[in-house]
Amino acid sequence: MATVPNLPAVSEEEYLRTDYEPNCEYLDGVLVPKPFPDRIHSRLQLLLGSYLLSIEQAYGLSTTLEIHTRIRPGRWRVPDIAVVRSGWKDRYPDVDAAPLFTIEIVSKDEPWSELRGKVTDHLSMGIGTVIVSDPHTRTVLVATQSQSLREIDPPLVVRVLIPGKDSLSIDFDHLFSQI
């Protein structure tokens, strides 16, 4: 499994004003390139984004793709999908306005240790639910503030609690069938 080496250290200010290709996360002064997505990853991200966009109004949500998210000073992640409350106006989510839930889509050569680090960071900033979806193996894992990361059994339907609303259901079996 090939990994991309970390890039040289840069300041947080430089990170935020620079466009990196491929996109990078900023982890305590070090740029860490995000894995390069393949067709399967991109297709699932599109399907998830389309589904979430279609239900935004009913649930009072706003769906974002690849948005820089401040975990804490000096630490930024870029979740594949972050869902925030509608009306959210800040430039970036942070601990004061954390997303309700995030979805990380596994890239083919992405190490699980890196995914676990993302889940830990997302939960540490107050994100209620973190979903990790692997379109290559068609598996889904979920972590919440009260439950550690665990693989869900079929049917692959994730229910996310939305404050003041019914729980939102994401049917990964259906989404995987469309890849």
Strand pairing class (157-160; 168-171): antiparallel
- Per-residue pLDDT tens over the stretch 4-19: 556 667 999 999 999 9
**Contacts by 37-41, CB closer than 8 A, 24 or more apart:** 37/105, 37/107, 38/107, 38/108, 40/108, 40/135, 40/136, 40/179, 41/105, 41/106, 41/107, 41/108, 41/135
Give the confidence band of 91 by pLDDT, cuts at 50, 70, 90.
Answer: confident
Q: Provide the pLDDT confidence category of residue 1 given band limits of 50, 70 and 90.
A: very low
Q: d(Cα 133, Cα 135) in Å, to the nearest integer? A: 6
Which domains are assigned to the chain? 36-177 (3.90.1570.10)
Compute the average pLDDT of residues 63-70.
Answer: 96
pLDDT digits (tens, 9 = 90+) for 128-159: 999 999 999 999 999 999 999 999 999 999 99
Percent of the chain with pLDDT over 90: 83
Q: Say if strands 129-134 and 101-105 run parallel, antiparallel, or are unpaired.
A: parallel
The DSSP result for 108-126, as a single string, is TT--HHHHHHHHHHHHHTT
Mean model confidence pLDDT for the chain:
93
Q: What does pTM read for this prediction?
A: 0.93
What was the pLDDT predicted at 109? Answer: 84
Say how far apart CA 107 and CA 36 lie, in whole Å.
7
Enter the tokens of residue 43: 């297709």
